[in-house]
Amino acid sequence: MPRAYRMTVVDGVCTVRLVGEIDFANADQVTDWLLNAIDGSKCTRLDMNFAELAFLDSSGIRALLTVYRHAINRDVEVNFHTIQPGVQRTLRLAGVDSLLGTGT
């Protein structure tokens, strides 16, 4: 699990903050938490703040894609913010940065 994760909901906007890493050891748990957070919050927009997300591997990318698809299927707008350079590079190298709207 990332060292910490939390979500705040204000006026239908869910802001998720992940701290630490998303990798093979915790990607399924992070995915489950985020899917449940989306379904339980009734948010119309999901803002994912990665200011403190230091590492993401292919399992983490799978988790993000799963959450992104789940949110879009429920008409929830998804935005990614404050992505650390290493995480941004991983998303770019995997070719998913433009799909997720994280490309610069």
**CA-wise closest residue to 7 among 30, 42, 34:** 34
23-53 pLDDT, tens digit per residue, is 999 999 999 999 998 998 889 999 999 999 9
pLDDT of residue 91: 94
| pLDDT computed for residue 21 by the predictor | 94
Query: Percentage of the chain with pLDDT > 70?
Result: 94
Q: What is the mean pLDDT of residues 89-94?
A: 94
Spatial CA neighbour of 19 closest among 52, 47, 61, 63? 52
pLDDT exceeds 60 at position 2: no
Amino acid at 97: D
Count of domains in the chain?
Answer: 1
pLDDT range class, residue 104, cuts 50, 70, 90: low
CB hemisphere CA count around 52 (13 angstroms):
10
Residue 29 is part of which domain span? 4-100
CATH number at residue 16: 3.30.750.24
Going by C-alpha positions, the residue among 56, 50, 70 that lies closest to residue 21 is 56
pTM over 0.85, yes/no: yes
What's the mean pLDDT when you consider all of the chain? 90
Helices 27-41 & 58-73, crossing angle to 10 degrees?
A: 20
d(CA 52, CA 43): 23
> What does the pLDDT read at residue 6?
84
pLDDT tens string 70-83:
999 999 999 999 99
What residue has token string 């399992």?
A: 59
